[in-house]
Structure 1
Amino acid sequence: MSTTTSESVRADIRNAALQLFSDVGFHGTGIRRIAEEAGVSLATLYHYMSSKESLLAEMMSETILTLLRDAELAVQATVSPVERLRALVEVHLRVHIENRMLCIISDIELRSLSGEGRETVVRYRDDYEGLWKKTIAAGKRSGDFSVGDIDIAAKALLDMCTGVVHWYRPGGRMDLEALTDLYVALCFNALQSHRPRRKARG
């Protein structure tokens, strides 16, 4: 089997599983149903994945790693905590809207993972959440933010921003840039901070 064909089959399996996990949930998705939707035999399916859970762990690890890497790059280009928070919100919304089904699965199916797969996803998630906590803590020290509990504040902002995957649709009355501006303002209000002026786009 050529590399191109192999990659295509793997993509078909992954896309079928992604759609099913999103539509009916991990536990509601059977192995045979994935094979049927992907148009492959069970033998072929198991050639490309060791188990249904391993495929879920792969998807979830990819999602949180994308968030973590993009967020790390974004905050490196900023100076103040206020700028860093804006950058984090922008990354979070963009990744969740561009990868809606993956992010929905990641949001609700951590409970379905166990063992090493779960440990890996939780470690990456904690690292990502840590970027938000460090940013809020830095803003509290600088006087830009006023917040009592940094951990709870970070979780609250993340929950609010993650929620866009369940209702936002591109092509609606608000584009991604306008949505980001609104969510940035909501985050700053929650932290009792003044909204910074958007930088001119070059």
Structure 2
Amino acid sequence: MVRTPGHRHPRPQNRPLLRLMHIDRSIYDRRLLTLRSRRATMNSSERAAKSPDVELAPTERRLMEAAQALFATKGYSAVGIREIAREAGLTIGSLYHYAASKEDLFLQLMRRSYARANARAREAAASGSTPVERLASLVRMHVLSEVSEPSVWRLNRSELEVISAEARAELVVLRDEFEQTWRQLIEDGIAAGSFAPDDPAIARFSIIQICNGVSLWYRPDGRLSLDEIVAIIFRQALALLRAGASGTQPAGLSS
């Protein structure tokens, strides 16, 4: 064939080979993602089974701190997995060694926080010889947990609607474990004659919400010290739990 100016000979293409290469690459990509997911899931399960007080490895701790800071400042939906990796000084591949996804990373944060809170709540509720002493201990623990990890607890209350139903269900179970400690303490106090709330459930919800709210407004340089705040909240909690002791209602609230 005579080559003329401006004429290009078509390059032979082995289309079956290209298709084969495409298929092989797709299979490779899927297998890589599957293996990565299995590895991350296995690692997540192992970490979830650890005691909450087990110290994380430096790289994992750096990743968790970066994710927590970004979630707290920008919101879960506005943060990307690459941004988290960059903030933690990791490659995407390294990040996937510790978490299968952004949601998995969020769940790991919340699992550890709830595990710590649940363990501390059980310990606090068991300390003291009377229900009133146990109440004082539990109020203090709850407030201190809120103040020490405010961003984590705010995330738990504000981001549940944007995660999957499965993840949300898991966090609700962990939250219910925390509330169960409060429920049991109040029931013990009622049985012992120390508490007489108008409605145990409403009293429990009210006390928990008061404690939850401290992280929203507390300032270390504020008018009251943390010990003073804890003492005030304890007295409010005790008033709620003894509200029905006299059998009377404040004026204007009678049915």
TM over 0.5, shorter chain: yes
Cα separation, 1, equivalents of 2:127 and 2:150: 26
User: RCO (CA 8 Å, sep 6+): is it higher in 1 or 2?
Assistant: 1
2:218 to 168, 184, 190: 168
- AA paired with 2:235? A
Contact 2:200–2:241 (CA<8 Å) still a contact in 1? Answer: no
1:14 is paired with a residue of what secondary structure? helix
Relative to structure 1, is the Cα distance of residues 72 and 161 closer, same or farther in structure 2, using a 3 angstrom cutoff? same
- AA paired with 1:81? P
Normalising by structure 2, we get a TM-score of 0.67
- AA paired with 2:216? H
1:47 is paired with a residue of what secondary structure? coil
Contact 1:89–1:180 (CA<8 Å) still a contact in 2? Answer: yes
Following superposition, the deviation at residue 192 of structure 1 comes to 2.9
Q: How does 1:3-82 map to 2 (within 5 A)?
A: 7-82=57-132
- AA paired with 2:84? I
Q: CA RMSD in A?
A: 2.0
Contact 2:127–2:133 (CA<8 Å) still a contact in 1? Answer: no
Cα separation, 1, equivalents of 2:229 and 2:223: 10
1:173 is paired with a residue of what secondary structure? coil
- Which one is further off, 162-171 or 101-110? 101-110
1:145 to 195, 199, 202: 195
> Any stretches of 5+ residues in structure 2 without a counterpart?
1-55, 244-255
* Structure with max Cα Rg: 2
Q: How many residues align?
A: 188
> Any stretches of 5+ residues in structure 1 without a counterpart?
1-5, 194-202
Identity %, equivalent residues? 32
- AA paired with 2:241? L
Following superposition, the deviation at residue 40 of structure 1 comes to 2.3
Following superposition, the deviation at residue 116 of structure 1 comes to 4.9
